């Protein structure tokens, strides 16, 4: 049994601190350098705000996360055909009894985690922020009943590859924290997408600010009224009033011989803000979709583009699912099975399987094609792959 080290109320002071206010590129550089030293409190708090403040970044993150959360999970046995089993697994056994018992235990454990979907959604943030921690909470019988999320700004480590330590109260600049019992946590580490997105976010914010300033000055063309020839000075104030009224409602009377001139005011051929924003969006898309150009190369909304986009996200989801499957295998499956089956090889493991549109139909077509040349697909595998209950 473990006692939780996480208290969500211990950083209430941060709720009144907006890290985006006054943020500059030099300040961001300092935060990133602190993160390389293992000081994450301020950097991760900035990431938290940034992810909720940029529409493009938020959309890419949510789309990628949705592809992962749409995945199914299952407990597989080493003897079953499928993806490569975890490294801790032994060669395929001659007797499936042990594998059946281990698979039953793992199924019971994962079914018993009351917040598994929420925990998975948080573990995904490790892709974006560089790491994510889930703390195992145990029931009275010693089984895991919750995987409590521990926000990234509560963590610190001694250097880039030091052990993880808990930064109570999320104190800025703290170099060391409270050591943790590693076996009580599920930990995912990855290259932080936010490290690259942060600079793009700040450039986008500065770009929008400059664009707004430009529009305030040049968005509405300057208007000048040219009075009739030989206008007496006594009439100039009257014509000035007429000009102001014309600008306010766009209609009115001008004396004969008057003219209106619209002056660009120095705007030239326009400002390059839109092109810069499009460039930043392309960079965000490339980072968020694993560097795949398909999302940008295919234009339009027809079948070709739709299929290309779907294929791109399916490939991303498969990669995300494989990486997170290994995390659960390492931090839950192996320790649990070694405790429950001491001295026995690991013969079952957890696995995510991203949902594939119309996969059931394709599997049925493949099974029919195999039957036509004399091969029969295993009924259990066919039922699992299609989701249908099959009867002879």
Cβ of 61: how many Cβ atoms within 10 Å? 22
Residues 282-320 pLDDT 10s: 888 777 776 554 445 545 544 444 455 556 666 777 888
Predicted pLDDT at 262 = 65
| Close Cβ partners of 22 (under 8 Å, ≥ 6 residues apart) | none
Q: Report the distance separating Cα 164 and Cα 96, nearest Å.
A: 39
Question: Please, are residues 196 and 130 in contact by the beta-carbon 8 Å criterion?
Answer: no
Q: Report the distance separating Cα 171 and Cα 42, nearest Å.
A: 8
Name the band, by pLDDT with cuts 50, 70 and 90, for residue 66. Answer: confident
Task: Identify the residue with better confidence: 274 or 112.
Answer: 112
Buried b (16+ CB within 10 A) or exposed e, 290-306: bebebbeebeeeeeeee
Predicted pLDDT at 219 = 64
CB-based burial of residue 312 (10 Å sphere; 0-12 exposed, 13-18 middle, 19+ buried)? buried
**Tokens of residue 325, six digits:** 């499957």
Angle at 195 between CA 189 and CA 196, to 5 degrees: 125
Helix axes 41-51, 193-218, angle to 10 degrees: 50
Predicted pLDDT at 84 = 47
Among 45-59, 122-136, 162-176, 257-271, the least confident range = 257-271
Predicted pLDDT at 372 = 74
User: What DSSP string describes 35-55?
Assistant: HHTTB-HHHHHHHHHHHTT-H
Angle at 165 between CA 193 and CA 320, to 5 degrees: 30
Cβ of 271: how many Cβ atoms within 10 Å? 15
Max mean pLDDT range (1-15, 76-90, 135-149): 135-149
Question: Please, are residues 144 and 4 in contact by the beta-carbon 8 Å criterion?
Answer: no
**Tokens of residue 313, six digits:** 């996200």
Whether the pLDDT of residue 71 is over 70: the answer is: yes
Among 20-24, 195-199, 215-219, the least confident range = 215-219
Task: Identify the residue with better confidence: 143 or 258.
Answer: 143
Q: Residue 187: helix, strand or coil by DSSP?
A: strand
% of the chain surpassing 90 pLDDT: 32
Tell me the C-alpha to C-alpha distance, in Å, between residue 141 and each of 103, 105, 108, 115, 145: 19, 14, 13, 18, 10
Task: Identify the residue with better confidence: 246 or 60.
Answer: 60
Q: Report the distance separating Cα 352 and Cα 76, nearest Å.
A: 10
Ordered by start, the domain boundaries in the chain are 8-197+298-357, 222-263, 359-392
DSSP state of 333: I
pLDDT mean across residues, the chain: 79
Q: Report the distance separating Cα 116 and Cα 135, nearest Å.
A: 12
Q: Residue 173: helix, strand or coil by DSSP?
A: coil
Whether the pLDDT of residue 152 is over 90: the answer is: yes
Taking alpha carbons only, the member of 108, 144, 110, 93 closest to residue 346 is 93
Residues 123-151 pLDDT 10s: 999 999 999 999 999 988 888 999 999 99
């Amino acid at each position: 049994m473990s006692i939780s080290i996480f208290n969500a109320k211990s950083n209430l002071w941060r709720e009144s601190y907006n890290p985006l206010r006054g943020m500059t590129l030099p300040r961001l550089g300092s935060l990133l350098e602190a993160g390389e030293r293992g000081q994450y409190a301020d950097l991760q708090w900035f990431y938290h705000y940034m992810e909720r403040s940029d529409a493009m970044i938020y959309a890419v993150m949510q789309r990628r996360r949705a592809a992962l959360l749409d995945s199914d999970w299952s407990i597989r046995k080493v003897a079953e055909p499928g993806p490569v089993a975890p490294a801790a697994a032994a060669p395929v056994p001659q007797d499936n009894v042990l594998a059946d018992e281990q698979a039953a235990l793992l199924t019971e454990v994962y079914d018993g985690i009351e917040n598994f979907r929420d925990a998975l959604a948080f573990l995904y943030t490790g892709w974006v922020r560089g790491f994510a921690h889930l703390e195992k909470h145990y029931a009275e019988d010693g089984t895991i009943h919750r995987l409590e999320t521990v926000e990234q700004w509560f963590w610190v480590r001694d250097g880039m590859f030091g052990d993880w330590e808990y930064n109570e109260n999320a104190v800025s600049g703290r170099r060391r924290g409270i050591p943790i019992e590693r076996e009580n946590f599920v930990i995912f580490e990855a290259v932080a997408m936010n490290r690259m997105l942060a600079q793009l976010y700040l450039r986008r914010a500065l770009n929008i600010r400059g664009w707004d300033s430009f529009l305030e000055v040049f968005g509405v063309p300057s208007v000048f009224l040219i009075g009739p020839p030989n206008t007496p000075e006594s009439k100039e104030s009257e014509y000035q009033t007429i000009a102001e009224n014309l600008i306010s409602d766009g209609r009115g009377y001008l004396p004969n011989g008057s003219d209106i001139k619209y002056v660009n005011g120095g705007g030239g051929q326009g400002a390059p803000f839109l092109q810069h924003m499009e460039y930043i969006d392309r960079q965000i898309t490339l980072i968020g979709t694993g560097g795949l150009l398909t999302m940008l190369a295919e234009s339009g909304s027809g079948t070709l583009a739709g299929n290309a986009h779907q294929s791109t996200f399916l490939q991303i989801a498969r990669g995300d699912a494989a990486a997170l499957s290994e995390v659960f295998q390492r931090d839950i499956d192996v320790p649990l099975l070694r405790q429950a089956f001491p001295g026995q090889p690991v013969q079952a493991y957890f696995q995510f399987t991203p949902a594939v549109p119309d996969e059931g139909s394709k599997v049925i077509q493949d099974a029919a094609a195999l039957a036509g040349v004399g091969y029969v697909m295993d009924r259990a595998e066919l039922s699992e792959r299609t989701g249908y209950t099959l009867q002879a």
